[in-house]
Structures are given as C-alpha cells and as structure tokens.
C-alpha cells in the first residue's frame, strides 16, 4: 500500500506486516485490519492476475 512517501507490504496468509516505510503504528493497525477483512478477495485477485 502506498500513500505519499509511505509504503507498506503485507503477507496475505497471516496479514502480517512484511515491510513498512513511513506509516505510523496506528496507521499500520488500520491497514492491517483492512487487509484481514479483505484477505480472500485480495488473494483471489492476485491469483487471477498472476495465474498462480
């Protein structure tokens, strides 16, 4: 996820933060909550796009 000069990467399997540059801890918790809520749809979109 990117915003301005911030970027964060999450693992979909366990919604863990893989990398964070610039987001505060509070923002990361909100983003992680969104990833957890939508993990199935995000995973399906990834598989559809990459064909894996």
Query: What is the tens place of the pLDDT at every residue in 1-52?
Result: 999 999 999 999 899 999 999 999 999 999 999 999 999 999 999 999 998 7
The pLDDT assigned to 17 comes to 96
Q: What is the pTM of this model?
A: 0.84
Which pLDDT does position 9 carry in this prediction?
97
CB 12 within 8 A of CB 46: yes
CB burial readout 20-40, b (16+ within 10 A) else e: beebeeeebeebeeebeeebe
At residue 33, the pLDDT reads 97
């Amino acid at each position: 996820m990117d915003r301005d000069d911030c970027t964060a990467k999450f693992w979909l399997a366990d919604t863990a933060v893989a990398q964070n540059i610039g987001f505060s801890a509070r923002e990361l918790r909100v983003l992680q909550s969104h990833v957890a809520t939508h993990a199935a749809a995000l995973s399906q979109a990834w598989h559809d796009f990459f064909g894996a």
